[in-house]
Amino acid sequence: MRVLVIGGGPAGMMSAITSAENGNNVTILEKNNSCGKKLLITGKGRCNITNSADISDFMKYIPGNPRFLFSAFNNYNNLNIIDFLKKQGVKIKVERGGRVFPVSDNAQDVLNAFLRRLKELDVDIITNCQADSIIVEDGIVKGVKTENGKEFLADKIILATGGITYPVTGSTGDGYKMASDLGHIIEKPEPALVPLNCSNISLKTCKEAQGLSLKNIAIRVLTENHIIYEDFGEMLFTHFGVSGPVILSASSILLRYKNIDDLFENGKVKLQIDLKPALDKEKLDLRIRRDFEEFKNKQYKNSLDKLLPQKLINPFIEYTKINPAKKVNEITKEERAKIVDTLKCFELELDGLGRKEEGIITAGGISTKEINPKTMESKIIKGLYFAGEIIDVDALTRRL
């Protein structure tokens, strides 16, 4: 059977491998000059392959359509991809939080594993080949027409063109048009797992702390004093706002929140950072009193080195509204309470989500209502299958 795979990313390559292992004659059509361009930049070039957690834990962090993936995970899961890579000679390591990387910390090794297996299976890879439309007769796929008018005939077609994020790697939403032209509903694609922008009120703080990474902090995202997301982990200050694992996950929740654009515009979305989540207010007050006793002859601005990273000290002092030149032995109980409150609730005002160029994944895509979850075949067009990010399923990024 002739199978065409449109798109040579990880989903397309794995689909091609599986199809070829089942005895099919498989060809990949890839618009770039090589396969796996986006794979090479994952995990900052290290390639965060998967997580070692139980599949039941995976389901907890899929905000959109998790039930759709039950059959897929039963057929192929995180342990299977690890086993595949090991068989291809890629040594694997598991880091903090169950994150799985190649021992080499080199995404190229993961890509080479896919390419080796494709070669072993005689899968034909045609690069610089832009698919334009899918040929259908009487509701059954017949082939693919390319941008330059060339036609490739096929019995089955797997559409794996990715989403809209990192467009420089070729993810420009081509597959949505092809599927839409055949009658498929496309849930609006949006960049997900993006940084969050801060309003002008908070931007000065972010710029002062730019490049600072905070570990083991807790966050809350609120709209009109209603908590819509809480998390614990790492975050990063940037020149435009905040980023890092807990922020990226928060963005996927905000993306789905009703009237979020209006709330951003009206300054009603807040990020509260608990800088010392391991300590309650009483224990934190005792800690501060010990520090102040040690530094009793120092000015307030020079007494916070043990409590805070250097880049955060000046913004923190501004938040507390305590005279930076004041001697710590002169700080009042009320002022100390303000320091405690600020450590437990360092608040920033958010005014928007990052751009699609900054998104790690895409939310939205081909409606899961029109895809058979057991086979990934279209319920509308016989012989048409979908794989990867083109489908309306996405998940959070975090330590499981």
- Do the domain assignments include residue 396? no
399 within some domain: no
pLDDT for 398:
59
Read off the amino acid at residue 245: P
In this predicted structure, the answer to whether residue 191 has a pLDDT above a threshold of 70 is: yes
According to DSSP, the β-strands at 213-223 and 269-274 are antiparallel
3-state secondary structure the chain: CEEEEECCCHHHHHHHHHHHHCCCEEEEECCCCCCCCCHHHHHHHCCCCEECCCHHHHHHCCCECHHHHHHHHHHCCHHHHHHHHHHCCCCEEEEHHHEEEECCCCHHHHHHHHHHHHHHCCCEEECCCCEEEEEEECCEEEEEEECCCCEEECCEEEECCCCCCCHHHCCCCHHHHHHHHCCCCEEEEEEECCCEEECHHHHHHHHHCCCCEEEEEEEEEEECCEEEEEEEEEEEECCCEEECHHHHHHHHHHHCCCCHHHHHHCCCEEEEEECCCCCCHHHHHHHHHHHHHHCCCCEHHHCCCCCCCHHHHHHHHHHHCCCCCCEHHHCCHHHHHHHHHHHHCEEEEEEEECCHHHCCEEEEEECHHHECCCCCEECCCECEEECHHHECCECCCCCC
pTM of the complete model:
0.86
Residue 235 is assigned to a structural domain of this protein? yes
Q: Say which CATH number the domain at 86 has.
A: 3.50.50.60
Residues 126, 240 share a domain: no
Residue 398 lies inside a defined structural domain of this protein: no
Q: Is residue 200 part of a domain?
A: yes
Ranking 56-65, 128-137, 159-168 by mean pLDDT, the lowest is 56-65
Residue 39: is its pLDDT beyond 50? Answer: yes
In a domain, 397, yes or no: no
Q: Taking 60 as the threshold, does the pLDDT of residue 399 lie above it?
A: no
Whether residues 178 and 203 share a domain: the answer is no
Note whether 204 and 314 are same-domain residues.
Answer: yes
pLDDT at 331 over 90: yes
Which pLDDT does position 318 carry in this prediction? Answer: 96
pLDDT computed for residue 88 by the predictor: 96
Convert the pLDDT of each residue in 251-264 to its tens digit: 999 988 888 989 99
- Is the domain of 319 the same as that of 185? no
CATH of the domain at 271: 1.10.8.50
If asked whether residues 322 and 218 sit together in one domain, one would say yes
Question: In this predicted model, what pLDDT tens digit does every residue of 264-286 receive, in sequence order?
Answer: 999 999 999 999 999 999 999 99
Residue 208 sits in the same domain as residue 147: no
Q: Note whether 60 and 85 are same-domain residues.
A: yes
**Total domains present in the chain:** 2
Residue with tokens 């908070």: 202
pLDDT band at 62 (very low <50, low <70, confident <90, very high): confident
Work out the angle between the directed axes of helices 333-344 and 310-320 (0-180°, nearest 10).
120
298 shares a domain with 166: no
In a domain, 270, yes or no: yes
13 and 76 together in one domain: yes
Q: Both 36 and 179 in a single domain? A: yes
Name the amino acid, one letter, at 299.
Q
> Within this chain, do residues 237 and 218 fall inside the same structural domain, yes or no?
yes
Tell whether 66 is covered by a domain.
yes
Question: Do residues 174 and 307 share a domain?
Answer: no
Note down the domain range covering 155: 2-190+363-390
Strands of the 50-51 sheet, one edge to the other: 50-51, 99-102, 92-95
